[in-house]
Amino acid sequence: MDLTTLTKADWHQKAAKLRYETRHFIDGKYVDSIGGGRFEVVNPATGRTFCTVSAGAAGDVDLAVAAAKRSFAARVWSRKAPRERMAVLANYARLLEANAERFALLDTLCMGKPIRDMLSIDIPQAATNFAFFSELIDKIEGTVTSTAADAFHYILREPLGVVGCVVPWNYPLLMAAWKVAPALAAGNSVVLKPAEQSPLSGLLMAELFVEAGGPPGVFNVVNGLGEATGAPLALHMDVAKIAFTGSTEVGKQMLVYAGRSNMKRVSLECGGKSPQIFLADLPDLDVAVNYAINGIYGNMGEVCNAGSRLLVDRKIAPEFIARFVELGKHAYRPGDPLDPATNLGPLVTSSHCARVMSYIERGRKEGARLEFGGATPDSPGSFIEPTLFSGVDNRMTIAREEIFGPVAAAIEVDGIEQAVAVANDSIYGLAAAVWTRDLNTAHKAVRDLEAGVIWVNCFDHGDMTQPFGGYKQSGQGRDKCLESLLSYTQTKSAWLHLG
């Protein structure tokens, strides 16, 4: 069925009939928490409880890690012939797409993402992610090195063992896919801990892996709160790597957990405060302004690489801001996320909404000019109007801290050198963009900007070959790309004395 033809009423009907699991998925089976605990998930569009879900604790994590460890030791996945693993993951990528309706509803009902974004972004990209890593499995090669005649030396690449994936709620399915796909492709067994705000799509992912032909125990899911479930997983002595996406604060905690336990590897994809530099010679004002609008209001601004700082050359600032106000004020309208016409859903929770509103208040108090937005519509859901501040100084709180909401901060700069200095004056370094016609300026900016991803005359473009990850406190390690797959392997050196 072509899901893009469904109406709001169709989606509501489907939501009412939706069946889903709420228990953990361990060793190929759904199981309750040992202690019987559950937590609530509230639909942020309505403010009403959507479901309750099994709340994991250390004992549940132990069971999931033990299942993963057993499956790894039994070599049912790690030593499966590469082309057989490829077939399972390729089949799995197709199953994800075939289950698009369920995935779309699960994430939209839990965290409020517009259903059209699930269909056009999260689901196709998650499937492509699995397809990409499945295609790489038999392309990973070992090496024979040059040695003296009395030795033969080769280097093998082997999986790590049990990989724990701890992921956020802003792209629940996709962020899980960015970790789980390369981990499985490399031959590891996995325990996924989804965010407590969006716990359901991860369960369906694990169930479908078994349906696709994956051995039980290779992909396990334990739900629960960060401290209660994420911490025991990251502290576990049998987990070889934690692949984390989330806030910088919790990312730092992951490093502590690794140090306090078994020195497990840690990869971190954390927060951002990405600058977009708009120079006076940018190629087309309307194109640039539209990218600026979509770069901060898409996914309600709940995007790690959201273009939250607009560094606009003073020469074009009045024109740029006026155009942003004209085009941006009504481009994103809060609405029912199950309505395919909606492009701005609620923020993930009422507490996150209150947090974003407190940043808006802070912006006003610190002297930024509110151009539009800044209010919450009258609704039981946790909606916030798209908001633009101009006259922002990079020292203001709204320019320094990650707001994770639809709030843009426009800062005036004089030329590229000052723009780069302001862009780099941040603890974060996930992404940045520069808009200019001048090739030299563009290349110099690429060299001088401290960020893992730089866009020139575009924003948020990319594909699976693009390493995605941060400089500075935006993290370490890269998702997508070949490098990501290699980071779920370790090398073994075999030195043979030939006598």
Q: How far is the CB of 93 from ligand NAD (least distance, A)?
A: 21
353 is a catalytic site residue: no
Q: How far is the CB of 404 from ligand NAD (least distance, A)?
A: 6
Nearer to ligand NAD, 187 or 405 (CB): 405
Q: How far is the CB of 245 from ligand NAD (least distance, A)?
A: 5
Separation of alpha carbons 153 and 73, rounded Å: 26
Q: How far is the CB of 216 from ligand NAD (least distance, A)?
A: 24
Nearer to ligand NAD, 206 or 234 (CB): 234
304 is a catalytic site residue: yes
Nearer to ligand NAD, 55 or 137 (CB): 55
Q: Catalytic residue among 304, 385, 412, 481, which?
A: 304
Give me the residues that bind ligand NAD (CB under 6 A), please.
166-170, 175, 193, 195-196, 226-227, 230-231, 234, 245-247, 250, 253, 269-272, 304, 402, 404, 430, 470, 474-475
CA–CA distances in Å: residue 109 to residues 3, 112, 297: 17, 6, 20
Per-residue three-class SS string for the chain: CCHHHCCHHHHHHHHHHCCCCCCEEECCEEECCCCCCEEEEEECCCCEEEEEEECCCHHHHHHHHHHHHHHHHCCCCCCCCHHHHHHHHHHHHHHHHHCHHHHHHHHHHHHCCCHHHHHHHHHHHHHHHHHHHHHHHHHCCCEECCCCCCEEEEEEEEECCEEEEECCCCCHHHHHHHHHHHHHHCCCEEEEECCCCCCHHHHHHHHHHHHCCCCCCCEEECCCCHHHHHHHHHCCCCCCEEEEECCHHHHHHHHHHHHHCCCCEEEEECCCCCEEEECCCCCCHHHHHHHHHHHHHHHHHCCCCCCCEEEEECCCHHHHHHHHHHHHCCCCCECCCCCCCCCECCCCCHHHHHHHHHHHHHHHHCCCEEEECCCCCCCCCCCCCCEEEECCCCCCHHHHCCCCCCEEEEEEECHHHHHHHHHHCCCEECEEEEECCCHHHHHHHHHHCCCCEEEECCCCCCCCCCCECCEECCEECCECHHHHHHCCEEEEEEEEECC
Q: How far is the CB of 87 from ligand NAD (least distance, A)?
A: 29
Q: How far is the CB of 196 from ligand NAD (least distance, A)?
A: 5
Nearer to ligand NAD, 312 or 353 (CB): 353
Nearer to ligand NAD, 238 or 438 (CB): 238
Q: How far is the CB of 234 from ligand NAD (least distance, A)?
A: 6
Q: Catalytic residue among 207, 269, 302, 402, which?
A: 269
Nearer to ligand NAD, 118 or 288 (CB): 118
Nearer to ligand NAD, 170 or 489 (CB): 170
Which residues are catalytically annotated?
A: 269, 304
